[in-house]
């Protein structure tokens, strides 16, 4: 399904997010640190469609270097998850959406590496002025929403280290794993009007650190 990057699509996605029954936010376990990521919606390259932004993390980062990620990071002291997501968009990509551009929040996702991630859906209309921070971002990719809505976009596999299913997103002949894959999957389900939970979807062992 093609979704033009226009006000109608913005309103439709905002309505889907408003209808989504997000699980109540609670205090994370003491071992978990609050974090936020942006599901930043932009115009796909040359197609007029709506896309979301994915990055490849810079090779010089201390953790998860070179991995696929949504823009985001740890919440600073006193920050809400929305504030953190907007700050990370500015610091990582030079984008300047405001609180009025936030369309909604999805469920918190606890990671094996010790974070509780809140996904924040943001309409980032000014993506033409994007200026990635090379110290954090190796590359930026626009993923058309139609690509995450394909029937074969996601699959689930078992691993011997866990009794939980590992989710995988198939993209450009490769695989993107949780937490990124889990968050994108829930967003795809929200677009379809489904209230699908993802907190129990597993990450591959290499992402546990």
**Model pTM?**
0.93
Q: Please report the pLDDT score of residue 67 as a whole number.
A: 79
Mean predicted lDDT score pLDDT of the chain: 91
Q: Which of 51-65, 101-115, 180-194 comes out lowest in average pLDDT?
A: 51-65
To 10 degrees, what angle do helices 180-191 and 7-19 make? 100
CA distance 75 to 57: 18
Q: Are 110 and 199 in contact (CB under 8 A)?
A: yes
Q: Please report the pLDDT score of residue 136 as a whole number.
A: 84
**pLDDT(60) > 60:** no
> Chain centroid to CA 143: how far?
11
Q: How would residue 27 be classed by pLDDT, with cut points 50, 70 and 90?
A: low
**pLDDT(59) > 80:** no
Which tens digits make up the pLDDT trace of 9-23?
999 999 999 999 998
**pLDDT(64) > 70:** no
Q: Of 21-35, 91-105, 123-137, which one has max mean pLDDT? A: 91-105
CA distance 52 to 169: 14
State mean pLDDT over 69-81.
95
Domains of the chain by start residue, with CATH: 7-147 (3.90.79.10)
State mean pLDDT over 118-134.
89
Q: For residue 13, what are the contacts with CB-CB under 8 A and spacing of at least 6?
A: 3, 41, 50, 103, 121, 123, 191
Residues 67, 72, 75, 76, CA torsion sign: positive
Q: Please report the pLDDT score of residue 115 as a whole number.
A: 92
Nearest residue to 190 (alpha-carbon basis) of 57, 6, 41, 79: 41
Q: What is the dihedral of CA 115, 120, 122, 126, to 10 degrees?
A: -20
State mean pLDDT over 68-79.
94
């Amino acid at each position: 399904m093609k979704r033009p990057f226009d006000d109608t699509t913005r309103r439709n996605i905002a309505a889907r997010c408003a209808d989504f029954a997000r699980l109540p936010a609670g205090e994370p376990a003491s071992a978990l640190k609050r974090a936020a990521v942006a599901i930043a919606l932009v115009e796909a390259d040359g197609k007029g469609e709506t896309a979301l932004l994915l990055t490849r993390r810079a090779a010089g980062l201390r953790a998860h270097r070179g991995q696929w990620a949504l823009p985001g990071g740890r919440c600073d002291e006193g920050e809400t998850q929305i504030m953190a997501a907007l700050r990370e968009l500015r610091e990582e990509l030079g984008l300047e959406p405001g609180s009025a551009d936030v369309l909604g929040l999805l469920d918190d996702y606890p990671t094996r590496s010790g974070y509780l991630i809140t996904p924040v859906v943001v309409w980032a209309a000014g993506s033409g002025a994007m200026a990635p921070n090379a110290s954090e971002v190796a590359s930026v990719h626009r993923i058309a929403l139609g690509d995450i809505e394909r029937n074969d976009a996601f699959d689930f596999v078992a691993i011997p280290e866990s009794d939980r299913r590992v989710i995988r997103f198939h993209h450009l002949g490769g695989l993107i794993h949780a937490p990124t894959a889990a968050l994108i999957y829930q967003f795809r389900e929200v677009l379809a009007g489904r209230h699908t939970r993802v907190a129990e979807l597993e990450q591959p062992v290499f992402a546990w650190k």
